[in-house]
Structure 1
Amino acid sequence: MAIRAKHQRLVLLVIALTVLIGAGLLAAWALRNQVSYFYVPSEIVAHPPSPDRGVRLGGMVEKGSLKTEPDGVTIDFTVQDGKARVPVTFRGIVPSLFVEGSGVVAEGKMSATGTFVADNLLAKHDENYVPREMQNMTKEQAKQVVAETK
């Protein structure tokens, strides 16, 4: 007994949908540990993530909190959002835009002691930031340089 064309299309559609849903579930399962949640200090203090979960902590570097350890590579500082403060430690090369009073996004994990141990720092700049190479240019010269890079 042959399957009618209408039923054949329906069976193919069901198979295609099953394959698509299966691929989506497989991709979600594979990426489950790759997701990095973003917290601000008040959220991370109120609901700290488990020590094995990689997260991002964003806020302002508190003025007067930046300390360099004797090894010259490790720094300690505090990230705050006006409501809470989180101590952070980082070992590595610090971005050139990283200064006290500026924005930062630290990627890492919370330790059991309540200190955020950062693996990577992303320094943020304000809307008035101008690269060093363009500081002495007029607006017209800067526009020309930008247009040439497109």
Structure 2
Amino acid sequence: MRTVRNPIVAGGEVMEEEVLVGLATQCRDKMGQRGHRVIEMLSREATLVAEIASMRAQVKLARQEAYAGHKDLDTQWLRRINYAIIMTKKELAGIRVDRGLAQYQQKEERRKLNLLTQLSEQALFMRHAKSLLTKKVFEEIRAAVRSEVSVVVPQMSGHGFDDCT
């Protein structure tokens, strides 16, 4: 997709509404897919947090029983469970990084979709303006848009327009 400095004008021409609608549909689809991925990551993240809490509770209980003299502390089991906690934390960290990236991409897609919606509205406005304004006034507005002038005052000889708002 080509980046456009001015959202109304692409390569000097007003973008077609069909193109904008197609791009907006693609953005919506990507957002939906990323949304499902983020939800899956959040679910997996919650599962891992629960697993870590469970393993820590097991270690705490085993240490309490060993301290009370009820059972001996199995050092091999303790090493294995500590290693499992470490590996689960690593996986959790990786998922959090991936989720952060996916959420950032989702935010960017949302921004693109908002921009495309705005572009579509502007293209529709320009098409409507072309039918309402004289060719000279329309070309003045279009030239101002290309040069990124924010306010356009058409030079009109004695013609007044009513405020339609």
- What is the TM-score of this pair, normalised by structure 1? 0.28
Higher relative contact order (CA 8 A, sep 6+): 2
**Structure with more helix by fraction:** 2
TM-score (norm 2): 0.26
